[in-house]
Amino acid sequence: MDAVTSLSVEELRQLQQELQKQYDEYKMQKLSLDMSRGKPAGAQLDLTNAMFDIKVDYLTKAGLDARNYGVLDGVPEVKQLFGDLLNIPVDQMIIGGNSSLNLMYDTIARCFLFGTGGYTPWSKLSKIKFLCPCPGYDRHFAVMEEFGVEMIPVPMNEDGPDMDMVEELVVNDDTVKGIWCVPLYSNPQGVCYSKETVRRLASMKTSAPDFRIMWDNAYGVHYIYEKHSLEDILTACKDAGNADRVFYFFSTSKITFPGAGVALMASSLNNVVEIKKHMGVQTIGHDKLNQLRTLQFFKNADGILAHMDRLAKELRPKFDIVIKTLEEQLGGTGLLQFTKPDGGYFVSVDTYEGCAKATVALAREAGVVLTGAGATYPYGNDPKDTNIRIAPSYPTCEELQKAMDLFCLCVKLAGVNHLLEEKKK
Amino acid sequence: MDAVTSLSVEELRQLQQELQKQYDEYKMQKLSLDMSRGKPAGAQLDLTNAMFDIKVDYLTKAGLDARNYGVLDGVPEVKQLFGDLLNIPVDQMIIGGNSSLNLMYDTIARCFLFGTGGYTPWSKLSKIKFLCPCPGYDRHFAVMEEFGVEMIPVPMNEDGPDMDMVEELVVNDDTVKGIWCVPLYSNPQGVCYSKETVRRLASMKTSAPDFRIMWDNAYGVHYIYEKHSLEDILTACKDAGNADRVFYFFSTSKITFPGAGVALMASSLNNVVEIKKHMGVQTIGHDKLNQLRTLQFFKNADGILAHMDRLAKELRPKFDIVIKTLEEQLGGTGLLQFTKPDGGYFVSVDTYEGCAKATVALAREAGVVLTGAGATYPYGNDPKDTNIRIAPSYPTCEELQKAMDLFCLCVKLAGVNHLLEEKKK
């Protein structure tokens, strides 16, 4: 298709008519499809069903009876499993419950209630700001809103957040207390942070001594097309003399079963002591049987990696459909830009400026639910109204193809409508 | 044995010598026994091992795939299970993770961070006090210390806390924001709150409009000798026009596996909305597969009650040993008082005044670990130094008999030592 953006008013009107007709026909189909959340499909979850056959061996090598109370920070061999997988020293790791989001929320809550590193509790300070690389993950932003943290958007580049801007923002403002990062296959763009980005984050000079990196490595082993490696942030921070700067998070929600997996966090030895002090008041311990179930299902880190190959194989055809359909139907139109991700759960697209909300609304009206436009920005405010997060994992391939056909049509229709409005002015 | 308290100095000296000799013989045995925590024994946990054979049926009646994300407050049929068991309306219930302590901690944290019922967050107030019926549960007190709450001890009577004192403390002081209650088979005394106590708690006039009852029904179905019923606090609060006053907690930690069970809380509809608003930012949801595993193991509330019969049968011989040994070896000595509990996990004893610490120290030196003396009081401060919590569940009957024999000896030796000291003055 030729560049729609260079058409005349007359040509646009004709195209609008054609597109509207096609759109009306879609509406007759009464579709009901969901591409809103990074939720695995049933067929993907089936690949893990053998986990239900695991009869947990509850006595650990060290003679611990995991049916009973005890062990705040995780069963040692399970810590070893994840240590091997993620290259994290086990003494810097704390295994939590089923949700890494819960670990992140509680981490922020502790900073507010008690402070971290011996510094003033954030609840006692009049203003707290966090840097939020955008587009980003709406649930991170929701945690910030919950605690009344002012979010400062930072643009994402191909190798991570715009580090020049980050460095400038943190160096002179001690109310800037942290940054949210999804460093591998970021949500939603699939950006992988470069070594240089990680090193700059670890070593940059911050005005706040209790500045913290919320390192949500949600997709740490979740490749689809190509495996990327990630510079070790724990070591980078330590080497830069900022060992306490990073809180690292991971979970098996998108490895085994969402909401029934195992979450973990990692940090400096100091921070681990501090966290365990509070966590030991909060709970006697997390679910050790589910930790062992996970270990006994995978056996070792290679077992997890082999499983990720199977999941990638299951997800790849869906990402293929999204990318192929976007390229075929919108390539050259000037109405959409996107980058093919190598992993993660999303394809992030940018419509023609000012068209994201209209596109999502059109799709919803025709029965395809997308993540709300703006959700990938703090306060739901996408200043150019361009970004849409496509989550291809939940529908079947057949449903996804239908949904993507409709989506492309909506991008075009919203784009043409917008161009005609612009020409009127 | 005759009243030791009325012996002459000479008689006491002779007894001291005999007891010391017996004690030294015990020390030679190098015992290593633990009666410190309410931790089930392996043999007790074996009674639940069939749970490992459950192959979770993850599709619910309503067609929910519990392997996937979703459902913040619990799988409906699991809520129904606990609703039937505890007589709690399902719309007033939120199922959490594996730990009711975690739900309690988070509830207090939310009151501090965000306030409750629209009132000022407690972190913004200069002073917060809580009433702590004593002796009580050390982990409740630890949560209070964590948040800097001033704990006011309230004596326990046979039917619950001294309600005259409670009413007096709450009516004129708006910094008193709550009270901790373990209303059935209380930790450690096994006190069961009377209807009258529950009604007075629900209806008393409090100066703080956001006064809250932390209702930790930890032993709600955990009878050993006799089943007691508990007045419905949710209804009592509602009937008194104080629906929002109570946060109710329960878990299956001592029904299935400690630390791998299912915890829940309940409250007014208003409070449930408020809690879910925050919890929905904190997590996408708790482990639904473990909820279903629990349901499918027990099938219904009667299944849980039948299981509690088996657990009671397992625990009863241990409580028999404790009670029989205390009566036989210390009855009439004037050195120990205790009440036989009808359920729960503990036997609470009171030594001769000023002898609890010395008794626990003697037992520890001879290889028997008891809960630290003072632990049942806020700040570890038992003003009369008399209370000791005995936890009979973990050792085998044989071990327990040995430990109790030694314990009684330590009570006597500490008592005689103390009496001799007193006579010196």
Contact (CB<8Å) A259/B101: no
Rounded to whole angstroms, the Cα distance separating B17 from B23 reads 10
In 3D, which of B294, B291, B55 has the Cα closest to residue A56? B55
User: Of A56, A282, A287, which has the smallest distance from its Cβ to B259's Cβ?
Assistant: A287
DSSP classification of residue B386: -
Which of A387, A391, A331, A390 shows the shortest CA–CA distance to A356?
A387
pTM: 0.97
Residue in chain A nearest B279 by alpha carbon: A102
CA–CA gap between residue B92 and residue B94 (Å, rounded): 7
Residues of A in contact with B278 (CB under 8 A): 146
Q: CA dist B342 to A32, B196, B312, B319, Å? A: 57, 19, 10, 10
Q: Which residues of A touch B285 (CB under 8 A)?
A: 99, 259
Q: Per residue in B118-138, is it b (16+ CB within 10 Å) or e — as a string?
A: eeeebbeeeebbbbbbbbbbb
Pair A92, A267: CB distance under 8 Å: yes
Contact A289 B257 (CB under 8 A): yes
Other CB atoms within 10 A of residue B422 CB: 13
Where in B106-245 does DSSP place strands (E)? 129-134, 150-157, 160-161, 176-181, 212-216
ipTM for the predicted complex comes to 0.97
B contacts of A286 (beta carbons < 8 Å): 97-99, 259
Do the chains contact at B67 and A288, CB–CB below 8 Å? no
Cβ-contact B388, B349 below 8 angstroms: yes
Decide if B248 contacts B215 (C-beta within 8 A). yes
Q: How far apart are CA B152 and CA B130, in angstroms?
A: 6
Per CB-CB distance under 8 Å, the chain B contacts of A285 are: 99, 259
Beta-sheet pairing, A263-266 with A336-338: unpaired
Q: In this structure, what DSSP letter does residue A372 have?
A: P
Kindly report the CA angle at B152 between B147 and B157, in degrees rounded to 5?
130
The alpha-helical segments, DSSP class H, found in B219-365 are 233-239, 269-282, 288-298, 301-330, 356-365
The answer to whether the beta carbons of residues B414 and B407 sit under 8 Å apart is no
| Interchain pair A146, B288: CB under 8 A | no
Residue A338: strand, helix, or coil = strand
Is A63 an 8 Å CB contact of chain B?
Answer: no
Q: Between helices A356-365 and A397-424, what is the axis angle to 10°?
A: 130
Q: Determine what percent of chain B is predicted with pLDDT higher than 90.
A: 97
CA distance B187 to B134: 9
Please list the residues that pair with A349 across neighbouring strands: A338, A388
- CA distances for B96 relative to A3, A9, B79, B283, angstroms: 53, 58, 11, 10
> To the nearest whole angstrom, how far is the Cα of B275 from the nearest Cα of chain A?
13
Whether A66 sits inside 8 A of B139 (CB atoms) is: no
CA distance A306 to B4: 72
Q: Hey, are the CB atoms on B258 and A284 less than 8 Å from each other? A: yes
Which of A410, A326, A364 is closest to A34 using CA atoms?
A364
B267 close to B248: Cβ distance less than 8 angstroms = yes
Q: What is the DSSP letter of A133?
A: E
B115 lies within 8 A of chain A by CB? no
CA of A365 vs chain B CAs: smallest distance (Å): 24
- A23 membership: H or E segment, kind and range: helix A9-29
Identify all chain B residues contacting A287, using CB atoms and an 8 Å cutoff.
97-98, 259-260, 287, 290
Q: B144 phi and psi, to 5 degrees?
A: -60, -45
- Nearest chain A residue (CA) to B282: A102
Q: Would an 8 Å CB–CB cutoff place B72 in contact with chain A?
A: no
Distance CA B32, CA B202 (A): 45
A97–B contact, CB cutoff 8 A: yes
* Interacting residues of B332 by C-beta distance below 8 A, sequence separation 6+: B1, B2, B3
Note which residues in 202-261 of chain A have CB less than 8 A from chain B: 253, 257-260
- Under DSSP, the state recorded for B224 is S
Cα separation of A373 and A356, whole Å? 6
Assess contact for A287 and B287: CB atoms under 8 A.
yes
Give the distance from residue A229's alpha carbon to the nearest chain B alpha carbon, in angstroms: 28
Is A55 in Cβ contact with B105 (below 8 Å)?
no
Nearest to A260 among B40, B281, B287 (CB): B287
Point out the residue among A45, A67, A143 whose CB comes nearest to the CB of B257. Answer: A67
**Six-digit token pair at A380?**
């739901």
Distance in angstroms (rounded) separating the CA atoms of residues B161 and B169: 12
CB contact under 8 A, A282 and B58: no
Q: Does A158 touch chain B (CB under 8 A)?
A: no
Contact B290, B260 (CB under 8 A): yes
CB A254 within 8 A of CB A65: no
**Angle subtended at Cα B259 by Cα B257 and Cα B264, rounded to the nearest 5 degrees:** 95
Distances, alpha carbon A80 to alpha carbons A76, A88, A344, in Å? 6, 9, 24
Q: Per-residue confidence of chain A (425 residues) as pLDDT tens digits?
A: 679 999 999 999 999 999 999 999 999 999 999 898 899 999 999 999 999 999 999 999 889 999 999 999 999 999 999 999 999 999 999 999 999 999 999 999 999 999 999 999 999 999 999 999 999 999 999 999 999 999 999 999 999 999 999 999 999 999 999 999 999 999 999 999 999 999 999 999 999 999 999 999 999 999 999 999 999 999 999 999 999 999 999 999 999 999 999 999 999 999 999 999 999 999 999 999 999 999 999 999 999 999 999 999 999 999 999 999 999 999 999 999 999 999 999 999 999 999 999 999 999 999 999 999 999 999 999 999 999 999 999 999 999 999 999 999 999 999 999 999 999 88
Question: A204-224 as b/e, with b when 16 or more CB fall inside 10 Å?
Answer: bebebebbbbbbbbbbbbbbb
Q: What is the pLDDT of residue A2?
A: 72
Alpha-carbon distance of A273 to A334, in angstroms, equals 53
Contact list, B101 vs chain A (CB under 8 Å): 282-284
Q: Is A415 exposed, middle or buried (0-12, 13-18, 19+ CB in 10 A)?
A: buried
Give the nearest partner residue to B259 out of A253, A258, A284, using CB atoms.
A284
Query: Token pair of A211, please?
Result: 């500045």
A68·B99 Cβ contact <8 A = no
Q: Is B148 on the interface with A (CB under 8 A)?
A: no
| A389 Rama class: left (phi>0) / alpha (psi -120 to 50) / beta | beta
- Roughly how many angstroms between the first and final C-alpha of chain B, as a whole number? 26
Residue A152 phi/psi, 5-degree rounding, is -110, 115
Give how far A24 is from chain B: nearest CA, Å: 32
Chain A contact for B126 (CB, 8 A cutoff): no
Residue A68 and residue B40: Cβ atoms within 8 Å? yes
- DSSP secondary structure code for residue B205 in this structure: -
| Residue B267 near residue B103, CB atoms below 8 Å | no
Residue in chain A closest to B74 (alpha carbons) equals A259
Q: Which residue of B has its CA nearest to A52?
A: B55
Pairwise CB contact (< 8 Å): A52 & B56: yes
Chain A residues with beta carbon closer than 8 angstroms to that of B108: none
**Do B109 and A105 lie within an 8 Å CB cutoff?**
no
Check if A282 contacts B (Cβ < 8 Å): yes
CA–chain centroid gap for A205, Å, is: 26
- Tens-level pLDDT at each residue, chain B (425 residues): 679 999 999 999 999 999 999 999 999 999 999 898 899 999 999 999 999 999 999 999 889 999 999 999 999 999 999 999 999 999 999 999 999 999 999 999 999 999 999 999 999 999 999 999 999 999 999 999 999 999 999 999 999 999 999 999 999 999 999 999 999 999 999 999 999 999 999 999 999 999 999 999 999 999 999 999 999 999 999 999 999 999 999 999 999 999 999 999 999 999 999 999 999 999 999 999 999 999 999 999 999 999 999 999 999 999 999 999 999 999 999 999 999 999 999 999 999 999 999 999 999 999 999 999 999 999 999 999 999 999 999 999 999 999 999 999 999 999 999 999 999 88
Q: Two tokens at A212?
A: 């913290």
Question: Residue A1's pLDDT is what?
Answer: 60
Say yes or no: A386 contacts chain B, CB-CB below 8 A: no
pLDDT in the model for residue B1: 60
B324/A contact by beta carbon, under 8 A: no
In angstroms, the separation between the Cα of residue B26 and the nearest Cα of chain A is 28
Give, in order, the Cα–Cα distances in Å from A299 to each of A46, A302, B402.
19, 8, 42
Q: Which residue in the set B113, B146, B287 is minimally distant from A259, CB to CB?
A: B287
* A113 Cβ under 8 Å from any chain B Cβ: yes
Rg (CA), chain A: 23
Q: Which residue out of A48, A57, A98, A103 would a mutagenesis test of the B interface target, given it has the greatest number of B Cβ atoms within 10 Å?
A: A98
Across the interface, do B98 and A286 touch by the CB < 8 Å criterion? yes
Q: Is A360 helix (H, G, I), strand (E, B) or coil?
A: helix
* Nearest chain B residue to A50, by CA: B55
Size of interface A-B (CB pairs under 8 A): 144
| Chain B contacts in chain A segment 3-62 (CB below 8 A) | 37, 39-40, 42, 45, 48, 52-53, 55-56, 58
Q: Comparing C-alpha atoms, which of B76, B36, B28, B37 is closest to residue B253?
A: B37
Grouping H, G, I as helix, E, B as strand and the rest as coil, residue B252 is coil
Q: How far is A320 from chain B (nearest CA, A)?
A: 23
